Amino acid sequence: MKIYIGYDSKISIASKVCEHSLRHHSEDLDIELLKLTKLKKKKLYWRPYKNQSTEFTYSRFLIPYLQNYKGWALYCDNDFLFLKDVKELMSLQNNSKAVLCVKHEYKPKDKTKMGNKKQINFSKKNWSSLMLINCGHPSMKNLDLSTVSEASGRYLHQFQWLDDDEIGSIPHSWNWLVNWYRTDKGDGHPEALHFTEGGPWIVDSEYKKTWLNYKKLMEEKNESKRTTTILG
């Protein structure tokens, strides 16, 4: 199963740390960063970048097309940090569903979000931030190139292109909204952190140190590779 991570050139470190956390717990993963420049160069995406909090706000919905409408894929935003082997999450796929996600009842308190953009509340908020996608499901054909580049944000992010019974559930521990779910309130324990209110490079949280530790491990690993290459 291929894994796609949202990528924003303004905060590329986020995607890199997310990818490192995935590889830290599991080997032999097929991971691709969803880079908007690459998609536009291939003429797969032409939506203007306007009033969007990230470069990957809509590009995630191209994944079924990129997969030739075959097999399964996993998508996550760049502000995720995985604490366990993602293959446990991958094993939850259900062929009767088009998409599986965490069905949050999340209502952000702040009026603005990353990039000082206006925060908009809507049903199914944050559902599309982590998706197990059944790319071969018949309803995925609703996501053609024109739809992804031209349909409204609500149509895409509220899964209006699917029937409700085509959306399956996965445990919220895999999309643990930092500062929303809490271990001290009986919400369980996280398996993947989602810094939806702003990553540790923006906002303090109880998991900031955890993210910084993964960043440090990534930098040490990269430095070790560079040293090996020079000495090799």
At residue 198, the pLDDT reads 83
Q: Which has the closest alpha carbon to 131: 107, 167, 95, 82?
A: 167
pLDDT in tens, 179-216: 889 998 899 999 999 998 888 877 778 899 999 999 99
- Residue 163 CA neighbour count, 13 Å, CB half: 7
> pLDDT tens, 128-137?
999 999 999 9
- Has residue 57 got a pLDDT over 70? yes
Mean pLDDT, rounded, for 59-76: 98
Count of Cβ atoms closer than 10 Å to residue 158 Cβ: 16
Calculate the average pLDDT of the chain.
90
Predicted confidence band of residue 124 (pLDDT cuts 50, 70, 90): confident
pLDDT band at 108 (very low <50, low <70, confident <90, very high): low
Residue 231: pLDDT band with limits 50, 70, 90: very low
Mean pLDDT, to the nearest integer, of 8-16? 95
Q: Would the pLDDT of 119 be above 50?
A: no
Residue 179: alpha-carbon gap to chain centroid:
18
* Mean pLDDT, rounded, for 92-119: 74
pLDDT of the residue at 223: 87
DSSP β-bridge partners for residue 137 = none
- Residue ranges and CATH numbers for the domains of the chain are 2-231 (3.90.550.10)
